[in-house]
Amino acid sequence: MVQKPETGTLAPVKFDQILKEVPELNKFNFNIQTVIFNPALDSSNMNPSVWVKIALTIKKNYDKFDGFVILHGTDTMAYTASALSYMFENLDKPIILTGSQLPIGTIRTDGKENLITSVEIAAAKEGGKSKVPEVCIYFDFKLYRGNRTVKRDSEQFSAFHSVNYPALAVAGVDIRFSSEFIYHPENKGILKVNTRFDDNVVIIKMFPGINEKVFKAILDIPGLKGIVLETFGSGNVPTVQWLTGCIKKAIKKGIVILNITQCEGGRVIMGQYETSLELLNAGVVSGKDMTSEAAITKLMFLLGQGLTNSEIKMYLNKSLRGEISE
């Protein structure tokens, strides 16, 4: 981002300006090439069609480069990282998303270090293979699995964290990779990029006093196919008849409901408390320890693959790209 002098607001910056601001990139002995999307987008304007555009751009250039760095606004970075992780099947090269909390042109910007180290990680190899063949987020000296990451702070440089999965690398004087936590494909298959999403989904966050009319109205949205239900604690909802009745009715209509916790850490354990047993009996799927970002993008992705509801529920419950702790 750069600050517009006429309004004082922040707007997307073109990459040629970034090269002027970060001349250190030219010191790498790498073949660094750039693709600029026009128009540049504020990350709040991200949507599945842009995810597809990013994925197809990488696919087109996949055999030409050792890794890829995506410059992305922080607000929806975790959504994009999660979506891309599902889209790339048999990925064996790094796709690193990064950005900054302060605009790249400011003196104290965190963007320089984030970008420089992301490029270095994207090019890192060992024994001829990429060190991190995953979709990741690099920010504030730490590399995280993309679909395990959430934005936790709008002001601190440590904007992102991954509560339920360890960092894949930490950058200090050296970049220390935690190989035991990095996914390495055992059998390298042919890269496949799946680009279909279905956005007929919604997230409903439970709260004390949730209104019956409002809840029913959401479930009656025409064309609705999937719901991510953000519940209390380990997957609990109020034990009121109208609520479980609405959920059962929605599931009978073919709507897939995925249960994730509102808590930053931990997981859904349906049936542990009476307040989640009804959900389990109704056919609600446990999202285990998925983040909201990983859950909603996974639901959109699976709904777009032409699967049956039974198949969707099966895949929601298992780890596709390391988004769930088995």
Count of domains observed in the chain: 2
Domain finish residue from 193, 215, 235: 193
By DSSP bridging, strand 169-171 and strand 142-145 are antiparallel
Same-domain status, 219 and 304: yes
Instruction: List pLDDT tens digits, range 22-60.
Output: 778 778 888 888 888 888 888 999 999 999 999 999 999
Domain finish residue from 193, 214, 229: 193
Same-domain status, 219 and 170: no
CATH number at residue 236: 3.40.50.40
Is residue 323, in this structure, part of any structural domain at all?
Answer: no
Same-domain status, 237 and 257: yes
Identify the domain containing residue 101 by its residue range: 2-193
Same-domain status, 132 and 238: no
Instruction: List pLDDT tens digits, range 298-313.
Output: 999 999 999 999 999 9
Query: Residue 293 and residue 80: Cα distance in Å, rounded?
Result: 9
Long-range contacts of 109-113 (CB under 8 A, 24+ apart): 109/21, 110/140, 110/157, 111/18, 111/21, 111/22, 112/21, 112/22, 112/24, 113/141
Helix (H) or strand (E) segment spanning residue 82: helix 77-87
Tokens linked to 33: 């090439």
The stretches of 253-322 forming alpha helices (DSSP H) are 274-282, 292-303, 309-316
Query: Residue 216 and residue 202: Cα distance in Å, rounded?
Result: 13
Query: Residue 308 and residue 212: Cα distance in Å, rounded?
Result: 30
Query: Residue 294 and residue 165: Cα distance in Å, rounded?
Result: 13
The rounded mean pLDDT for the chain is 91
Same-domain status, 113 and 33: yes
For the whole model, what pTM was predicted?
Answer: 0.93
C-alpha 246: how far from its chain's center?
Answer: 29
Domain finish residue from 177, 193, 209: 193
Q: If we measure between CA atoms, which residue out of 249, 229, 223 comes closest to residue 295?
A: 229
Is residue 322, in this structure, part of any structural domain at all?
Answer: no
Fill in the DSSP letter of residue 305: T
Instruction: List pLDDT tens digits, range 219-256.
Output: 999 999 999 999 999 999 998 999 999 999 999 999 99
Is residue 162, in this structure, part of any structural domain at all?
Answer: yes
Same-domain status, 286 and 304: yes
Same-domain status, 95 and 18: yes
